[in-house]
A and B are shown apart, each in its own frame.
Chain A
Amino acid sequence: MLTFLIRRILYVVPIAIGVTFFVFSLVHLAPGDPLSAVVAGDAPREVVDMLRAAYGFDQPMIVQYLRWVARALSGDLGRSLATGRPVAAEMFAAIGNSVLLAFLAAAIGFTLGAILGGIAGYAQSSWLDKLASLIAILGVSVPHYWLGMVLVILFSVNMNALPAIGIGPAGSAFWLWTRTDWSHAILPAVTLSVIPMGIVTRTVRATVAETLAMEFVQALKAKGLPGHAVLLHVVRNVAPVCLAVMGLQFGYLLGGSILVETVFSWPGTGFLLNDAIFRRDIPMLQGVILVLAMFFVLLNLLVDIVQTLVDPRIRRG
């Protein structure tokens, strides 16, 4: 087990190096001057050059890359071109907000997905299965920015029951455990949960159906095991696949949704990324994408480890 863990952790190193390289290259491949977003069209050339030197954009690309990686390793992701504030501070405040939304959306999406998928898998071809499958297809098909706008029109504009924008009335950097702050989170969390709900429903349904058709289930039933005990065996066999899918979905949720966070003006990483893209804020873009990519890599590592604990066959493989 220890060897497996060490090997799996060592795999992360080349992946991380690859991620830094791709993040840096992709952002710099975009055409145009990175300073154009913060410098007026007719700003004096010498001032533009001074700023270019101050941000290190006058250096060869490889030097810029190595400096950026060296600084990132020490936790310094540079300063935002657009705001002048440290990227790390801006990003960690935003990540906290996206993580909160991700947990809420995951709680809604995974719970509903597991229930609907389980029911559909158990009651294959019944009307319950068809209903659950329909909900799942709707979940993955409905554009969530559209759903977000519809929910805003219904619950905020027409009923005036829930806030349309923001993380809370206080405008604080952190979400507070109050009724008003909860009310701000409901619509974005529900909107964000529909895709993972659909995907988890479909995965659980397929895996439950497949597992139920396996011989060992027949054998357990033939041995006279009660239904709930059989279900426990099924769940144990279904869990690794579902965990992997949920892990990936949770990774997507953690990355924040540009569209949902923009629709609800939720100050998370998606909102930050959207702003950074439009203002071509290269240090911010690089920092956010790097951290989110590393989040994803680490989450995959975690899922692999948990899967191994749940299913020893993977460890042996």
Chain B
Amino acid sequence: MLIDRRSFLAGTAALAAAYRTSPVHAQGPRILRIGMTATDIPQMTGSPDNGFEGYRFTGYTLFDALINWDLSSAEKASGLVPGLAESWEVNPADKTKWVFRLRRGVKFHDGSDFNADAVVWNYDKLYKRDAPQYDPRQVSLIGFRAPSVHAYRKIDEYTVEISTRVPDSFLPYQVCSILFASPRHWETLGRDWAKFHANPSGTGPFKLASFTPRQRAELVPNPDYWDPRRRPKVERVVLLPLPEPNARTAALLSGQVDWIEQPSPDALPRLRQGGMVITQNGYPHIWSYTLSFIEGSPWRDVRIRKAANLAVDRDGLVELLGGMAVPAKGHVMSASPWFGRPNFEIKYDKAAALRLMQEAGFGPNRPISTKILISASGSGQMLPLQMNEYIQQNLAEIGIRLEFIVVEWQALLDRWRAGARSDMVQGATAVNVSYATQDPFSGFTRFMRGNLHAPTGVNWGFYSDPEMEQLLDAAQNAFTLPELDAGIARVHEKMVNDALFLWVVHDVGPRAMTRRVKGFVQAQNWFQDIAPVTME
């Protein structure tokens, strides 16, 4: 029997209609399904893995920190807001001691009270090796995010004190990373963190409803959440790990999810054509080359560093990325309160770059050759091969010949940790690792301090400058927000004036979602708040 074209199309349409109304596609009207880039549901112990995506979806949804990020605005850089601490202040007499006054009446999802004992118990989990709840895995995941914490103690039921070794105004940014898990629930589960991960209890705006490893986590609203403005509007959030970008795109276009993280630039026209909304905003991310300052590195000459920064056509790169990037003017975006007013303007100026190279004794006819460590992929690396090849062409035009040592992402991180003097880097004088500049320690201190040379820290290039040390000291001793911002801005100005990195672009965190998703505000932050989101 032959089937004519009309019958075939009618049959196909009927089949499609049948499936559209099947349970695969007919999700409830207020269920938000999110396709993450992670390969698994991030840890739900209060110490998320999978980088900041873990914090975004199973960190700040299920848990709170003493201080939270303000994720309510897309227009301004995110600041800090009270979380489980209603207020905090440094002791004026001894600036190594901070007092945190805790929010009263907050309960964990299992009904137990959040109080000073819970704070101390959670800090013991990370800092007290003989505590039963101490977990090296959680320490490895988040302990490094709060290196200033030296000691802590309960003052009364709702007051705790956290101490630093030296006065350190960066501490509030670091305590944002420590999220609070329920001690009673952990005891109930037989003191087992693996069981806690499958059945967590925090204080966050969402609770975990169900969990299938590697496949799905379902979150439901916590109706008793302490901040009424952040009580979730959707009935349920379904988190799906979809690491393959094409699979995420297909899942969104076929109606299996409502929201995907990081669509690939190539897929954006198709997503727009399919009626999807693409959201983006600058956030504290930087794609750069970290430079080596050890003997023999060409980057020791500030003229060469400046020339390289002037030779990169960032607008062209942004075009290559489908518009999903912001040209870098420095380590942080120019709208950041930490940008300051550097004298050296980072832009594309090939003629100026050639002049600087000539002053340094080099140029297209007498080029410098140097090796750069890059990866073929990796978290936050965007399109590393294409971008590096683009930069390679730009720099070749002014007489800097780059030879790439391409390694796998984790191998690149090993070499990043090892430092420029290590044999592992095979003579490379720069490493292309992108990272967050969200807090002053991870954005500035760890790359600039002389006592954090690799492998102790990630001052990969062995940078050291007494003036920079003084600027960092001054920033760490600025205990009001305007002074702190100004202090970090001075650090940033020096970084840019000395062209300490080759800065290229900032990511804009693209997301694609259906038009049913409403109320999402993409904050200038690695984290986002999904509590206010509604589904039409």
Which of B216, B238, B433, B455 is packed against the most chain A CB atoms within 10 Å?
Answer: B216
> Which of A54, A83, A160 contacts B20, CB < 8 Å?
A160
Are A264 and B413 neighbours in the complex by a CB distance under 8 Å? no
Q: Mark A156-171, 1 if CB is under 8 A from B, else 0.
A: 1101111111110101
Chain B CB within 10 A, most for which of A51, A171, A265: A265
Enumerate chain A residues within 8 angstroms of B244, measured Cβ to Cβ: 262-263, 265
| Segment among B68-76, B136-144, B304-312 that sits at the interface with chain A | B136-144
Q: Write out the residue numbers on chain A whose beta carbons fall within 8 Å of the beta carbon of B39.
A: 274-275, 278-279
Q: Is A314 an interface residue (CB 8 A)?
A: no
What is the distance, in angstroms, from B5's C-beta to the closest C-beta of chain A? Answer: 15
CB distance from A165 to the nearest CB of B (A): 5
- Knowing A42-B458, A164-B256 touch, does A50 contact B19 (C-beta < 8 A)? no
Q: Are the C-beta atoms of A85 and B213 separated by less than 8 Å?
A: yes
Q: How many residues of A contact B (CB 8 A)?
A: 59
Considering only CB atoms, which chain B residue lies closest to A159 in the complex?
Answer: B16
Task: Please tell me if A292 contacts chain B, counting CB pairs below 8 Å.
Answer: no
**Contact of A262 with B213 in the complex, beta carbons under 8 Å:** no
**Once the chains are docked, how many angstroms separate the CA of A36 from the CA of B256?**
34
Query: A172 vs B19: C-alpha distance in the bound complex, in angstroms?
Result: 20
Decide if B25 is an interface residue (CB 8 Å cutoff).
yes
Provide the bound-state CA to CA distance between A275 and B50, in Å: 12
A171 / chain B contacts, CB cutoff of 8 Å: 210, 212, 215-216, 218, 238, 240
Closest to B217 in A: A171
Cα–Cα, bound, A166→B250 (Å): 12
B466 at the interface (CB under 8 A from A): no
Encode A266-278 as 1/0 by CB contact (under 8 A) with B.
0100011011001
Known: A156-B254, A263-B246. A51 touches B22 (CB 8 A): no
**Does B416 interact with chain A (Cβ within 8 Å)?**
yes
Counting CB contacts under 8 A, is A312 at the interface? no
Task: Judge if B83 is at the interface, Cβ distance under 8 Å.
Answer: no
Asked whether, in the complex, the Cβ of A41 is within 8 Å of the Cβ of B250, the reply is no
> Which of A51, A84, A264, A267 lies in contact with B215, CB distance below 8 A?
A267
A34's nearest neighbour on chain B, judged by CB, is B410
Residues of A within 8 A of B247 (CB): 152, 164-165, 262-265
0/1 interface trace, chain B 42-67, chain A, CB 8 Å (1 if under) = 01000001000000000000000000
B214 contacts A by Cβ under 8 Å: yes
Which of these, B15, B144, B256, contacts A40 with CB under 8 Å?
A: B144
The docked-state distance in angstroms from the alpha carbon of A156 to that of B256 is 10
A153 at the interface (CB under 8 A from B): yes
Instruction: Decide if B527 is an interface residue (CB 8 Å cutoff).
Output: no
Distance, CA A83 to CA B19, complexed state (A): 35
Q: Which of B19, B145, B417, B433 contacts A36 (CB 8 A)?
A: B417
Per-position 1/0 for B201-226, Cβ under 8 A of A: 00000000010111110100000000
B19–A161 touching, CB < 8 Å = yes
Q: How far is the CA of A278 from the CA of B274 in the complex (A)?
A: 31
A42 to chain B minimum Cβ distance, whole angstroms, is: 5
A166 engages B215 (CB within 8 Å): yes
Contact status B40-A157, CB under 8 Å: no
Q: Report whether A47 and B416 are in contact in the complex, using a CB–CB cutoff of 8 Å.
A: no
Given contacts A157-B253, A166-B256, contact A38 B23 (CB under 8 A): no
CA distance A162 to B12 in the complex (A): 11
Q: Taking the nearest CB of chain A, how far is it from the CB of B133, in angstroms?
A: 15
User: Are A33 and B457 in contact (CB-based, < 8 A)?
Assistant: no
Chain A 163-188 near chain B by CB (<8 Å), digits 1 or 0: 11111010111000001100110000
Cβ-closest chain B residue relative to A90: B213
Q: CB distance B20 to A41 under 8 Å?
A: no
Complex Cα spacing A274 to B20, Å: 31
Main secondary structure of the interface of A (DSSP, over half): loop
Q: Mark A79-97, 1 if CB is under 8 A from B, else 0.
A: 0001111000010010000
The CA-CA distance from A36 to B411 in the complex, in Å, is: 8
Q: Are B250 and A156 in contact, with the CB atoms below 8 A?
A: yes
Contacts of B12 in A (CB 8 A): 159, 161
Partner of B410, one of A37, A44, A45, A263: A37
Determine whether B446 belongs to the interface, using a CB cutoff of 8 Å to chain A: yes
Q: Which residue of B is nearest A79, CB measured? A: B194
Q: Mark B1-41, 1 if CB is under 8 A from A, else 0.
A: 00000000000100110011011110000000000000110
Cβ contacts under 8 Å, B194 to chain A: 84-85
One digit per residue, 1 when the CB lies within 8 angstroms of any chain A CB and 0 when it does not, for chain B 252-268 equals 01111000000000000
Chain A residues, CB < 8 A from B433: 41
Smallest CB separation, B242 vs chain A (Å): 5
Q: B213 and A83: CB pair below 8 A?
A: yes
B334 to chain A, nearest CB (A): 27
Q: Mark A7-51, 1 if CB is under 8 A from B, else 0.
A: 000000000000000000000000111011111111111011011
**Do A42 and B240 have beta carbons less than 8 Å apart?**
no
Q: Is the CB of A36 within 8 A of B140?
A: no
**In the complex, A31→B413 CA distance in Å?**
12
| Most chain B CB within a 10 A radius of its CB, from A44, A51, A171, A173 | A171
Specify which chain B residues have a CB less than 8 angstroms from the CB of A159 in the assembled complex. Answer: 12, 15-16
For residue A310, give the distance in angstroms from its CB to the closest CB of chain B: 39
Report the minimal beta-carbon distance from B150 to chain A, rounded to whole angstroms: 13
B172 at the interface (CB under 8 A from A): no
> In the complex, what residue of chain A is closest to B25 when comparing beta carbons?
A160
Q: How far is the CA of A166 from the CA of B216 in the complex (A)?
A: 10
**B197 surroundings in chain A (CB, below 8 A):** 84
- A residues near B242, Cβ cutoff 8 Å: 165, 265
| A202 contact set on B, CB distance < 8 A | none
- Give the residues in chain A near B214, CB-CB below 8 Å: 90, 267, 271-272, 275
Known contacts A41-B416, A84-B197, A51 near B137 by CB under 8 Å? yes
Contacting pair A42 B140 (CB below 8 A): no
25 contacts across the A-B interface (CB closer than 8 A): A32-B411, A32-B414, A35-B140, A38-B137, A38-B140, A40-B145, A41-B433, A42-B446, A42-B457, A45-B456, A47-B140, A48-B140, A152-B247, A152-B250, A156-B254, A160-B19, A160-B25, A161-B16, A164-B254, A164-B256, A171-B210, A262-B244, A265-B243, A265-B251, A279-B410
Q: Which residues of A contact B (CB under 8 A)?
A: 31-33, 35-45, 47-48, 50-51, 54, 82-85, 90, 93, 149, 152-153, 156-157, 159-167, 169, 171-173, 179-180, 183-184, 262-265, 267, 271-272, 274-275, 278-280
Extra contacts, 20 of them, besides A82-B49, A172-B215 (Cβ < 8 A), are: A35-B140, A36-B414, A36-B417, A39-B140, A40-B141, A41-B413, A42-B457, A43-B140, A83-B40, A84-B194, A152-B254, A159-B15, A160-B25, A160-B254, A167-B215, A171-B215, A179-B22, A265-B243, A267-B215, A275-B40
Of all A-B residue pairs in the complex, the 3 with the closest CB atoms, nearest first, are A171-B216, A164-B250, A156-B254
